[in-house]
């Protein structure tokens, strides 16, 4: 599966379609912006402040590499891998986004849903070997 902006769009559209069907079946209020693409190429980054500070527990941000950078969303409760991972370092960066505590919401744990066997990277070496350095 190729990970791309288009793939992030497709996942967000699919999740919104499921949500639209689920709400009336479960007598729940339908909220806008349930799932949204959050990539550098989209306006999805505009949602980050809401995602970070929201008490709503029904945001889904689909992204390509957002979790590998310095994004700080302590309320993040679920990480879903639809991306095939080869880099243990990238995997640990993404997992690390879920490890933050969030006292206002009572978040003490997070869940990982792994559809691509990314968790096989737990325990893998990710440090590079030091090369000799000659300062002269």
| 135 within some domain | no
| Residue 131 within a domain | no
Q: Is 1 a residue whose pLDDT tops 50?
A: no
Domain count, the chain: 1
CATH number of the domain encompassing residue 24: 3.40.50.300
pLDDT digits (tens, 9 = 90+) for 12-50: 888 889 999 999 999 998 887 788 777 766 665 666 666
For the stretch 67-115, pLDDT in tens is: 666 677 788 888 888 878 888 888 888 888 888 888 888 889 988 888 8
The domain containing residue 79 runs over which residues? 5-121
Residue 107: burial class (beta carbons within 10 Å; 0-12, 13-18, 19+): middle
Residues in Cβ contact with 55 at an 8 Å cutoff, skipping those fewer than 6 apart:
104, 105
Please state, as a whole number, how many other Cβ atoms lie within 10 Å of the Cβ of residue 42: 17
């Amino acid at each position: 599966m190729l990970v791309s902006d288009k793939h992030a769009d497709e996942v967000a559209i699919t999740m919104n379609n499921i949500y639209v069907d689920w709400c009336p079946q479960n007598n729940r209020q339908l909220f806008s912006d349930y799932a949204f693409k959050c990539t550098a190429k989209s306006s999805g980054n505009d949602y980050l402040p809401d995602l970070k500070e929201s008490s709503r527990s029904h945001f889904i941000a689909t992204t390509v590499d957002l979790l590998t950078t310095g994004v700080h969303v302590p309320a993040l409760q679920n990480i879903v891998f639809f991306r095939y991972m080869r880099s243990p370092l990238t995997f640990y960066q993404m997992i690390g986004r879920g490890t933050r505590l969030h006292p206002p919401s009572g978040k003490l744990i997070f869940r990982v849903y792994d559809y691509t066997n990314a968790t096989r990277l737990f325990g893998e070496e990710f440090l590079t070997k030091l090369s000799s350095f000659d300062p002269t």
